Amino acid sequence: MPFRDGNAGFSLTLKRNCSISPAGLAGVFVALALVVVAIGAGFAAVGAWLVMPFAGLEVLLLGAAYFMYARRAADYERIVLESGRLTVEVGEARKIFRYELEARRARVCLQEEHVVLRGAQGELELGRHLDALTRARFAAELQRRLQT
């Protein structure tokens, strides 16, 4: 979890740990779809034509699973502390939400599944893409940065 420090302030981007890129997953999907259709076509060629609709259904369900994964693969949380303002940008399923808080009034609370950032306007959950140890380090570092 690298931090940027210096005169420019503090900036951190939290992202999911994706083992394969959406483009790589698209390649895997195409390869699997071709294999499924080829097997179905082989069975259809010897007279078992009812296999093809099931092969098509399998490719359709595989495509739906790929789409659901790809929608969330690029989710992120960007935290920027600069000039006494804390800006949090949350990207979820191609929607971007932006929150601004006064750094002096913001408080960090570590909970079991996430870090809660409390400000004058309400609460914001952060760190949902982090494991427990990294989430605790993140909460401690953010609290330390907010206090200075």
| pLDDT per residue as tens digits for the range 33-65 | 999 999 999 999 999 999 999 999 999 999 999
- The residues facing 122 across adjacent strands are 119
Average pLDDT over every residue of 6-28:
79
Cα separation of 73 and 15, whole Å? Answer: 9
Closest by CA position to 115, among listed 97, 101, 99, 134: 134
Total residues found in the chain within this entry: 148
pLDDT value, residue 4:
45
pLDDT tens column, 66-115: 888 888 888 899 999 988 888 999 998 888 999 998 888 888 988 888 88
Query: What does the radius of gyration of the chain's CA atoms come to, in whole angstroms?
Result: 23
Sign for the CA dihedral angle at 24, 26, 30, 35 comes to positive
pTM, two decimals, is 0.69
| Strand pairing category for 95-102 and 85-92 | antiparallel
